[in-house]
Structure 1
């Protein structure tokens, strides 16, 4: 898996991620649409896993009146975010760390994209609970990450499809195929049903699937 402190990996993050995540730019736009359903024109939005700055830039361009707090544990990825944001940087405050480093809010909405699959279930639940505490009542949370059944034949079939997509998008075949073992060994991926259960346990309601692309799934949920 990618090291988020390796300079070469960080510099190539945007191009690499666009190749392995189907519809990445559309995912960012969909997140903006979903947040805007409930967030006001002057909303304050929490972005967890903000390193790289891709979703921050997309959201800021869609909603010039919004202000953002972006949180990420990698200093190198946050520096990349500053570069990617360019003239949109004044709309964003960046914080190095995990959810405990995030301001208390209250926020009008939050995103957590391509991040939760790195966290084991207990830490994932704690993170969702802490996001919940920082949101205003009724505010939206948009999440998207690897989520697929743990049954070996089903899991392997979907991982192979994901690798084939990456190879078709320009990732070297050997590297794409190597991601199958890396994901199985290093990511504590949950099934879609388990992901929804954790959202409910953290206090979220009205949970809807909005994005489904090979091994990636995305949901919008609301603070009860």
Structure 2
């Protein structure tokens, strides 16, 4: 179950635009984000559901859990549902004021979320300490590539032994045929969920300079270099995947 009780339909790119601005997580996107991501990211709901199970398995008593780039709080609330360890807290961080406002409302509706704090801030400067579970759910892809390794290093340094990072990303493939095939299949997925070719094309243009995907081996190598000892993909659907990195 996701966070929005009344899901607004994403129609941001349904009319032809003379100039397409870079994609941003503004109030317009926040209003339709749940519909947008469910219709754009294959397997998104499954990943959110399993974050609850992974939290139950990895959360350690007396530790802190982080949702970095929390958007509307779907992963945050999944973590809260799965949190069985005692004396823990969850910190959800996002740099979009519109997302944070709606996330705080969603968290406030849940009587069991007293241990959750939603913070408007930059995840690149957020202090990570005493962590047992950290979630980067389709967040790293929006971080400038040169900033990704330092961020993952800080996360690993601030994590308890046995803690886990859940990293979900859109990816590309080194094999040109496979990359092209999954690119086309992803667009078929979006068409099947009601997006027109115009919407798909215009959103792709808006994201071109904002969302920079990488290969699975690139993610794995960076995580291992940061100090994680066990790293692998636990979920993949087309060109979207989620990895577990255990310290």
Tell whether the 8 Å contact from 2:163 to 2:246 is kept in structure 1 after alignment. Answer: yes
Corresponding position: 1:162 with 2:182? no
TM-score (norm 1): 0.88
1:139 is aligned to 163
- Partner residue of 1:199 out of 223, 229, 232: 223
Q: How far is 1:100 from its partner?
A: 4.2
- Partner residue of 2:77 out of 54, 57, 74: 57
Tell whether the 8 Å contact from 2:166 to 2:245 is kept in structure 1 after alignment. Answer: yes
The more displaced of 24-33 and 136-145 is: 24-33
- Structure 2, gaps ≥5 residues long: 1-21
- Residues 119-142 of structure 1, C-alpha deviation per residue, up to 9 Å, x if partnerless? 233211111111112211120111
2:104 is aligned to 82
TM-score (norm 2): 0.81
How many residue pairs match? The answer is 222
The more displaced of 57-66 and 140-149 is: 57-66
Q: Distance in 2 between matches of 1:161 and 1:170?
A: 14
Q: How far is 1:182 from its partner?
A: 4.8
2:152 is aligned to 128
Alpha-carbon spacing, 1:3–1:100, altered in 2? closer, same or farther (3 Å): closer
- Structure 1, gaps ≥5 residues long: none
Q: How far is 1:185 from its partner?
A: 4.5
2:93 is aligned to 71
2:236 is aligned to 212
Alpha-carbon spacing, 1:8–1:100, altered in 2? closer, same or farther (3 Å): closer
Q: Distance in 1 between matches of 2:30 and 2:100?
A: 10
- Partner residue of 1:11 out of 31, 34, 40: 31
**How do 1:99-114 residues align onto structure 2 when only pairs under 5 Å count?**
99-114=123-138
Alpha-carbon spacing, 1:83–1:61, altered in 2? closer, same or farther (3 Å): same
The more displaced of 28-37 and 198-207 is: 28-37
Structure holding more helix per residue: 1
Q: Distance in 1 between matches of 2:74 and 2:63?
A: 19
